[in-house]
Chain A
Amino acid sequence: MTGRTALRARRRRAAVLVGGVAGTALRLGVATVVPVSPTEWPWPTFTVNLSGAFLLGYLLSRALAAATPTTLTVPLLGVGVLGSYTTFSTLAVEVVTLSGGERLSTALAYGAASVAAGATVAWLGIRLAERRP
């Protein structure tokens, strides 16, 4: 690896790390604002996952059209902030927890709604970014 690529890789890692801290802070912030009830729909996770999927669709679509190879926008905001802001592990555990507590229908609805709405808003983000000049 040449010196310049090594430097670029280090910068990219630093951007992912800093972005990951910020994304985690945002996720915690949403969790304190959005009320949670262990017996019902996991709104905090649902909120971060859907808003994050929309924003990542938008961001990556914009970046694809505009970016130069050295830009740190995608490592910082995409991989770091939005990657850490959204979570898969919590979703998986919530589905299991809900289905174990005689709320199988809520578990199935929550899992299905997460992927259906998540894919839809990600698609909307991509389309919206493409329509902007």
Chain B
Amino acid sequence: MVTLLLVLAAGGLGALARAEMAAMVQRRARTQRPGGTALVNLSGALLLGALAGAGSRLDVEVVHVAGTGFLGGFTTFSTWMVESVRLAEEGGRVGLGEGMVNLLGMLVVGAAAAWVGSSVVGGL
């Protein structure tokens, strides 16, 4: 029960961290490109990979709070999808390409980040 509440609280904090990070990137980049979501998602995939790589060396409840809670709330699929569709629709032929790159590129780089996190921590 306590773990469940911690997982939920961590999910809320993850969402807040995502919003702050995305806003920060947006202010610096001064474009409408979805760089904030990319940074959030790729760093989150790296960290969740690291948690998975640690395996049984970490307490299962810690993994639940940090992984399912914080990183689950921190990273987002829905924003990534909507931003990709918008990129594709708003930029003409170039936009369509950008939308596809945002979709497939993030998937590939995200899986690579999770693999790196898992391999580095798993090999320690």
Co-complex (A, B): yes
Chain A positions near chain B (C-beta within 8 angstroms): 12-13, 16-21, 23-25, 27-28, 48-49, 52-53, 55-57, 60, 75, 79-80, 82-93, 95-97, 99, 111, 114-115, 118-119, 121-123, 126
Inter-chain contact B82/A89, CB cutoff 8 Å = no
* Chain B residues whose C-beta falls within 8 Å of the C-beta of A123 in the assembled complex: 85
CB–CB B8/A25 < 8 A: yes
Given A12, A24, A55, which contacts B73 in the complex, CB threshold below 8 Å?
A24
- Compute how far the CA of A27 lies from the CA of B73 in the bound complex, rounded to whole angstroms: 9
Q: Cβ of A88 and Cβ of B41 under 8 Å apart? A: yes
Residues of A within 8 A of B103 (CB): 115, 119
Specify which chain A residues have a CB less than 8 angstroms from the CB of B76 in the assembled complex: 82-84, 86-88
Check B77 against A87 for contact (C-beta < 8 Å): yes
Residues of chain B at interface, number, CB under 8 A:
50
| Contact A89–B71 (Cβ < 8 Å) | yes
Given A89-B114, A111-B111, CB of A24 within 8 Å of CB of B48: no
B85 to chain A, nearest CB (A): 5
Give me 14 A-to-B residue pairs in the complex whose CB atoms sit less than 8 angstroms apart, sorted by A's number: A20-B14, A25-B8, A27-B68, A56-B79, A82-B78, A83-B18, A83-B76, A84-B14, A84-B72, A86-B76, A90-B48, A93-B52, A95-B111, A123-B85
Q: How far, in angstroms, from A24 to B4 measured CA to CA in the complex?
A: 10
Main secondary structure of the interface of A (DSSP, over half): helix
Q: A90-B48, A92-B111, A92-B113 are in contact. List 20 more A-B contacts (CB 8 A).
A: A13-B19, A17-B16, A19-B12, A20-B16, A25-B8, A25-B11, A27-B11, A27-B72, A53-B78, A56-B78, A56-B81, A79-B18, A83-B15, A84-B73, A86-B77, A89-B44, A89-B45, A93-B45, A114-B107, A118-B77
Smallest CB–CB gap between A27 and chain B, Å? Answer: 6
Query: What's the dominant secondary structure at chain B's contact region?
Result: helix
Please state if B7 and A28 are interface contacts (CB–CB under 8 Å): yes
B15, A80: Cβ atoms closer than 8 Å:
yes
Interface 1/0 per residue, B40-70 and A, CB below 8 Å: 0100110111001000000000000001110
B13 and A17: CB pair below 8 A?
yes
Q: Which residues of B contact A24 (CB under 8 A)?
A: 7-8, 10-12, 14-15, 68-69, 72-73
